Chains A and B, each alone.
Chain A
């Protein structure tokens, strides 16, 4: 079967990861990219991508492209995905699907009208540890799962303090509620909500959230969401941009057994060296690599990708409910510092 002709819109951080991965895949030909940055287009050209567009609208008109990977800032997801679907392209959108439920519904409506494949980028589905956990939950290995805690904390859009590199500017859309659609719940919480729904089903009795504003932004930078699944499991999702040490894990507490699965850090210097020695910049065992490979295969073999736009929309609905059902807390004012900690 012929290779799928792939294109990428947006060559920011995640776009560049997909760029390297797509070039390495044996089921795909990366034929085009679109990005406003000349430097990013130059990089793509240097890596052998034939066509570089500064306007993604032009890329979508290209008949020699089968599918697009949308790696744009969140506020551009809906516009780009709808346009791509209208042009008959298969679409892979980075999470979150869109800024809000309305935009998500528009994407779903448009993709339903056109017979194209759509998928949302949730790479944890393709991490061996989390995939294995799914099989074990389904097999009854833990009995009934009563509580499941999913944690995703990191420094978020901010550079790591001790990463031996110069701090990078934060693109302004990250810090704009209107453009990002939300804060750490959207950014990090969405991964864990999606994972728990994969484990325990989409039917949900109740959702609420406790949100925190450590960085005084217009949106949450840490918090937790509680999801009561119809199956009886209580899911707790912890998320935050506050930590210099990234932690991504799922804990299963069942009537028979318990288990905790952690994602291994990929960013450390020794890990990167091993990765390069093994086979260049591409990490073939990563979730990001394998989700792309899987999506391309879905196009080749006419399979329905998972997680699809429907799951992406469901996640947005859960997040929207969590925002609505916030457990209110009176914010402490700065004046309270007179009676603050460590007396």
Chain B
């Protein structure tokens, strides 16, 4: 059974760093002595900054970088990775979200995986084959450190550690994967396995952004996602990509939590209720229909 640590903190850098250290100690995580290259995958989602709860706070990543250097070595080569997406370009996101500024001070590199050298791989999920290009920065790293957010996402219900790896796929037109997103998420996690997940749940994007002050850590991304779903008020068994990831052997949903009580966070997470979910579904359907109506009315 996987262990997931839950720690309470706030957005003050020192407190945050201490809490991340505690979260690692609680799961008894030790960096491998031979680790020379670390790839860190924060969650960058469009150009929405950390205050929206949609993207990882660069301060949080800076704290993790500090811990790696202190616990492992000052010489460890650290890359912060992300890839271009349909509407987001890394060259702007790195700057706008504050990562360019951070890496300059922390002496780490920023890598746009879309521009990285890659190797083709084939993977099967649910008896379907998928082909991806795996960036060299990920392939050659000794440790893939996943720093996701917790947020609701239409189509897959919840976005956390497993979904964050979707952003390691260097192909920029990611929208094409959306009809088959659950399987694609799992396929990518099979070929790019997170060695450690530390969730930046300091601000979360639920029904509205909220300062939840949560740090969650585990070596198992499936366990992390399972617990994230619970915190967000979703039965993890109803989250298809989490179930599928377990079936494909990526991790285990059954987990024990150490540290803070789970209830502290489940009570405070800004959950969507059924009415709001129904409203949002209608609104997004309505918005799509409006686009069509727009054209029809114009032609008439």
Binding site for B on A (CB under 8 A): 20, 23, 43, 46-47, 158-159, 161, 163-170, 175, 214-217, 244, 269, 272-273, 276, 280-281, 333-335, 337-343
Contact = CB atoms under 8 A, between A and B. Distances in A.
6 contacts: A165-B287, A167-B88, A169-B88, A272-B290, A340-B11, A342-B11
B140 interface: no
A166 B10 CA distance: 31
B92 interface: yes
A215 B284 CA distance: 29
Given A164-B284, A338-B14, 15 more contacts: A20-B298, A23-B298, A46-B299, A159-B46, A161-B48, A167-B88, A216-B98, A269-B283, A269-B290, A276-B297, A280-B297, A281-B294, A333-B101, A340-B12, A340-B59
Contacts of A161: 48, 52, 54
B113 to A, nearest CB: 18
Given A47-B298, A170-B92, A342-B12, A337 B87 contact: no
B13 interface: yes
Given A47-B299, A158-B46, A216 B100 contact: yes
Contact of A169 (B13, B62, B86, B102): B86
B96 interface: yes
Nearest to A242: B49
Classify the secondary structure of A's interface with B: loop
Contacts of B10: 342
B28 interface: no
Contact of A334 (B14, B62, B287): B62
Classify the secondary structure of B's interface with A: helix
Given A217-B96, A337-B59, A168 B87 contact: yes
Q: Is the interface on chain B under 10, 10 to 19, 20 to 34, or 35 or more residues?
A: 35 or more
Contacts of B47: 158, 170, 215
Interface string B85-112: 0111100100110101110111000000
Interface string B151-192: 000000000000000000000000100000000000000000
A158 B96 CA distance: 11
B287 A343 contact: no
B286 interface: yes
Contact of A338 (B13, B101, B175, B287): B13
A335 B87 contact: no
B214 to A, nearest CB: 15
Interface in B44-73: 46-49, 52, 54, 58-59, 62
B280 interface: yes
Contacts of B297: 276, 280-281
A169 B90 CA distance: 12
B13 A165 contact: no
Contacts of A280: 297-298, 300
A280 B298 CA distance: 7
Contacts of B104: 334
A202 B54 CA distance: 43
Contacts of A217: 95-96
Contacts of B286: 269, 273
B115 interface: no
A338 B18 CA distance: 12
Contacts of B86: 166, 169
Contacts of A158: 46-48
Contacts of A269: 283, 286-287, 290
